[in-house]
């Protein structure tokens, strides 16, 4: 297998922190061992929730990292603008295509339409120039663009015009048009939706391959472009870093408190309102048996106000250590297509998952397939109440009732997933080379 020169384009990269960094970081960590000479193009001043310098230490020295400046707004300021434009209550996905949104004020429309499809679009002019230079100087065979931010898909058509024979892969960490647009998008105006549809269609048309992180997302994207070949749309999941899966739990007594831990951001797609309403209906003696900890960032002040009645808040850097003490990992998602990165971290932690999920979603499918925990509909308040009563009843027998599929879970470790991705990239590049080499009689 010949060596492959790959340029990974990612807005966020270590030492920036947050779950959006992990896919690119794991590819940079493991791809060089798979006959891939990797260059990474990223920002020097990414707007991020925090920093994680340890992730940078895991990147092999042979990876060449190019950093450019971006004119992006500070993280907190972007959140303020987003709240101004969209309000504090995103519409549920089920209502996204039926309920007519309230028309925003003129000022909100102007601010919202300045930065489309997202505020990171300000990186695009610098990005285009840098990519063209690196492709030429480093003799790049394949460019891998991972999104969000979704504005990076605007790079694809520009690259295709400059390099007609270049292999270009677009990696969608989140499905955009069917779910993310309504759950967490910066703007949901008619103009924003039109631009998003046009941007995705252009990217798909000019890309060599489109990769999604869930099979449901792959099918959703593929269904929008029936004129494209089936082979163009691929599925490479997210994963976790782990060398073993600890599942043993100390014996419990009926009087022990039950500790649940949630890690990550609380925002539109992880709205905990139904959980709070359900727990408040429990008898006091039952509610006192549960100790719930939220570790991470809360985007909506109203979530914090309601959760303060029930939970402890702890900093993100305590997450993994405290997860090991927990009886259950708590998961909340209203998204039917995307699977949050925390789900895979929960798998790696080896803790049974109590999941409040979309009943037809990918998380439910994976949870059942891997026997990694139990689920209830995220909007079913009565069902969530029963769910916690059942958890209380079975807590003493948790060691026997929790029987995860360890082999299936092990397949989601990041190193074998990166190896799978490497095989796909080699295959794409080989096919691209074959397509651009003229037949012998034409030479």
Per-residue pLDDT of 162-213, as tens digits, reads 999 999 999 999 999 988 887 766 677 888 899 999 999 999 999 999 999 9
**Better pLDDT: 352 or 180:** 352
Mean pLDDT of the region 246-269: 69
Percent above pLDDT 70 for the chain: 78
Q: Is the model's pLDDT at 58 over the cut of 50? A: yes
Predicted TM-score of the model (pTM): 0.84
> Do 4-239+414-442 and 258-408 agree at the fold level?
yes
Most confident of 106-120, 291-305, 325-339: 325-339
CA dihedral 137, 143, 148, 154 (to 10 degrees): 80
| Averaged confidence pLDDT in the chain | 83
Quick one: 365 exposed, middle or buried, by C-beta within 10 A (0-12, 13-18, 19+)? middle
- Rounded to a whole number of angstroms, the distance between the first and last alpha carbons of the chain is 25
Residue 53 tokens read as 């310098």
Helix intervals (H) in 12-171: 22-30, 53-57, 75-86, 106-114, 124-137, 154-162
Mean pLDDT of the region 414-443: 84
Pairing assessment for the beta strands 373-377 and 290-295 based on DSSP bridges: unpaired
Mean pLDDT of the region 248-268: 70
Assess if CATH 3.40.50.2000 describes domain 4-239+414-442: yes
**Superfamily (CATH H level) for 258-408:** Glycogen Phosphorylase B; (3.40.50.2000)
**Better pLDDT: 311 or 224:** 224
Rounded (10°) angle between helices 341-349 and 362-370? 10
Distance CA 6, CA 37 (A): 6
**Better pLDDT: 306 or 115:** 115
Distance CA 204, CA 51 (A): 32
Mean pLDDT of the region 102-111: 55
Extents of the domains making up the chain: 4-239+414-442, 258-408
Is the bond leading into 186 cis (omega within 30 degrees of zero)?
no
Question: Beta partners for 293?
Answer: 261, 312
Question: Beta partners for 357?
Answer: 377
Q: Is the model's pLDDT at 86 over the cut of 80? A: no
């Amino acid at each position: 297998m010949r060596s492959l020169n790959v340029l990974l384009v990612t807005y966020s990269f270590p030492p920036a922190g947050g779950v959006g960094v992990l896919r690119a970081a794991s590819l940079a960590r493991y791809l060089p061992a798979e006959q891939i000479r990797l260059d990474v193009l990223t920002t020097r001043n990414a707007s991020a929730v925090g920093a994680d310098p340890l992730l940078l230490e895991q990147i092999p020295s042979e990876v060449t990292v190019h950093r450019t400046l971006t004119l992006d707004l500070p993280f907190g300021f972007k959140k303020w603008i987003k709240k101004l434009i969209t309000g504090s209550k995103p519409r549920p996905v089920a209502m996204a295509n039926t309920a007519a949104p309230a028309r925003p004020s003129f000022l909100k429309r102007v601010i919202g339409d300045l930065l489309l499809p997202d505020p990171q679009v300000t990186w695009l002019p610098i990005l285009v120039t840098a990519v063209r230079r690196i492709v030429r100087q480093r003799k790049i065979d394949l460019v891998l663009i991972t999104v969000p931010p979704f504005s990076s898909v605007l790079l694809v058509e520009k690259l295709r015009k400059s390099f007609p024979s270049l292999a270009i892969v677009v990696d969608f960490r989140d499905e955009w048009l069917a779910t993310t647009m309504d759950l967490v998008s910066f703007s949901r105006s008619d103009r924003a939706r039109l631009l998003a549809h046009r941007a995705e269609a252009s990217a798909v048309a000019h890309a060599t391959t489109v990769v999604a992180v869930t099979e449901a997302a792959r099918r959703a994207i593929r269904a929008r472009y029936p004129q494209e070949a089936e082979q163009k749309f691929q599925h490479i999941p997210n994963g976790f870093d782990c060398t073993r899966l600890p599942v043993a739990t100390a014996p419990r007594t009926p009087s022990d408190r039950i500790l649940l831990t949630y890690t990550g951001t609380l925002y539109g797609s992880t709205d905990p309102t139904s959980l709070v309403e359900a727990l408040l209906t429990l008898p006091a003696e039952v509610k006192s048996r549960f100790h719930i900890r939220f570790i991470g960032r809360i985007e909506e002040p109203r979530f914090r106000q309601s959760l303060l009645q029930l939970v402890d808040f702890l900093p993100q850097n305590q997450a993994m250590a405290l997860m090991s003490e927990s009886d259950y990992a708590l998961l909340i998602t209203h998204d039917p297509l995307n699977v949050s990165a925390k789900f895979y971290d929960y798998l790696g932690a080896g803790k049974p998952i109590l999941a409040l999920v979309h009943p037809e979603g990918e998380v439910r499918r994976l949870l059942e397939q891997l026997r990694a925990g139990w689920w209830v509909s995220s909007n079913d308040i009565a069902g969530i109440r029963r769910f916690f009563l059942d958890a209380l009843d079975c807590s003493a027998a948790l060691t026997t009732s929790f029987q995860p599929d360890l082999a299936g879970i092990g397949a989601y470790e990041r190193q074998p997933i990166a190896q799978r991705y490497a095989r796909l990239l080699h295959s794409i590049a080989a096919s691209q080379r074959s397509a651009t080499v003229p037949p012998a009689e034409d030479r």
